[in-house]
Amino acid sequence: MLQLLIIADDFTGALDNGVQFADLGAKTLVVTESNYELKNAEGLDVLIFDSETRHVNPENAYRKVYNFTKKAKDFGVPYIFKKTDSGLRGNIGAELAAVMDALSVSEMSLIPAFPKADRVTRNGIHYVDGVPVAESMFGKDPFEPVKHSDVHEIIAEQTHKTGIKVFDAETDEDIKAIAESLGHEGLKLTAGCAGFAGALANVLGFNGKCQEIPKMPENLFMICGSLNPVTLSQVEYAVSKGFSYICLSVEQKLNPDWPHSEDCRNSGAKWLAQISGSNAILDANNPDDSSKTEAYIRELKLSADDVRLNISRAVTGAAKAVIDAGLNARLMCVGGDTLLALMQAVGVYELAPLCEIETGVVLTGFTYNGKKYYIMTKSGALGEKDLLVKLADK
């Protein structure tokens, strides 16, 4: 019987929460379709619904989360966990309110800390890498900057509910103690990120073994649509250590028609020859062309959402072209938008997390045109500078 529903607002977050349970032997699946029928979850322990509401308006986020939560309530799912971003981006208040309303409850617990990734909560203030979140890289997010560091103020931007209890936590031991203190009754409805998901998995009694890392192709092919400075530093370091590098032009990454063009298809074969036998990065970032990028955005009259979607679709369209040309490599995809666009490009709408390779780096797989591909995923904001080099050596 399905024991737990996790509702995430982006794809990479769905996977890095789900893997906390898969690592303990729970049968776990991530789905992206709002009309997914819970009767199809027979045989699963944990279902993760990726609502893709990080970038929509609060009203749409509320409605989508409310509807799926209500469906889970009617189905009798005993535990629900609302996954929040570890940097507190997105529609935090609206989505917490939606879950509470759908379940007709007046109280819930939110544990936003992720100590392994240096996200901690102290006296109600959320810190990232030692600074208040609104002053961190998340406060400079080009699409949805976090404007407050007080968690209650972030929630209050979208809901007036007063029954959301925010827990401080600075260590994994703190988080474990919170989970144990809540007990099974208090854990029926909770919220947080991967930092709490691991503790939740333990308290709920999952104690099996995760799958072993399968044998995979030697070379690594990274698909990067993230603008996060953490990822940019990882890419720069990997290139300095010998990774091949492909960068889309301004027109390629911003023209919405390019991913479906003959030029894109022809470029796939050219790029595959260029990277043959090496670790490689396919990137949508070209900082040297920033002025040209801004001019092209003005010329096409693109909104911020247009830019975000066009970039993710362009880099994944380019990746598909390389795959179609015969790529034989482990894949890596950075950022939820990019991962979703890649899965849509290859016609995949469900993923089962296999295991966690590094903190926040999840291994999963999919079948495309009869061939099995393994793909590692992560949020753009996670990992040390040498992460890509370490993954390539595994």
What would the mean pLDDT of 90-117 be, rounded to a whole number?
97
Q: Are 146 and 112 in contact (CB under 8 A)?
A: no
- Give the pLDDT confidence of 216-236 residue by residue, as tens digits: 999 999 999 888 888 989 999
Residue 365 tokens read as 């797989």
Q: Are 279 and 213 in contact (CB under 8 A)?
A: no
What would the mean pLDDT of 208-215 be, rounded to a whole number?
77
Q: Are 265 and 324 in contact (CB under 8 A)?
A: yes
Pairing of strands 125-128, 119-122: antiparallel
Q: Tally Cβ neighbours within 10 Å of residue 160.
A: 8
- Give the pLDDT confidence of 278-298 residue by residue, as tens digits: 999 999 887 667 778 888 888
Angstrom distance (rounded) from CA 53 to CA 68: 13
Percent of all residues in the chain with a pLDDT value above 70, rounded to a whole number: 98
Confidence of residue 143 (pLDDT cuts 50, 70, 90): confident
Burial zone of 210 (CB within 10 Å; 0-12 exposed, 13-18 middle, 19+ buried) = middle
Architecture per CATH, domain 220-392, reads as: 3-Layer(aba) Sandwich (3.40)
What would the mean pLDDT of 332-343 be, rounded to a whole number?
91
Closest by CA to 193, choosing from 105, 298, 111, is: 111
Q: Which residues contact 172 (CB under 8 A, 6 or more apart)?
A: 115, 116, 195, 198, 199
Q: Are 254 and 314 in contact (CB under 8 A)?
A: yes
Question: First-to-last CA distance in the chain?
Answer: 36
Residue 146 tokens read as 């976090």
pLDDT of residue 374: 96
pLDDT of residue 288: 64
Pairing of strands 350-351, 244-247: unpaired
Angstrom distance (rounded) from CA 373 to CA 223: 14
pTM of the model: 0.91
Predicted confidence (pLDDT) at residue 208 exceeds the cutoff of 90: no
Superfamily name with CATH number, domain 4-203: Putative sugar-binding, N-terminal domain (3.40.50.10840)
For tokens 């049968």, what's the residue? Answer: 27
Predicted confidence (pLDDT) at residue 336 exceeds the cutoff of 70: yes
Angstrom distance (rounded) from CA 187 to CA 335: 29
Confidence of residue 141 (pLDDT cuts 50, 70, 90): confident
Percent of all residues in the chain with a pLDDT value above 90, rounded to a whole number: 78
Angstrom distance (rounded) from CA 383 to CA 385: 7
Angstrom distance (rounded) from CA 162 to CA 209: 39
Q: Can 4-203 and 220-392 be said to share one CATH topology? A: no
Q: Are 372 and 129 in contact (CB under 8 A)?
A: no
Predicted confidence (pLDDT) at residue 337 exceeds the cutoff of 90: no
The beta strand positions in the chain, using DSSP E, are 4-8, 28-31, 46-50, 79-83, 108-111, 119-122, 125-128, 131-132, 164-166, 189-192, 220-224, 244-247, 280-283, 330-334, 350-351, 355-358, 361-368, 371-378
The ranges assigned to domains in the chain are 4-203, 220-392
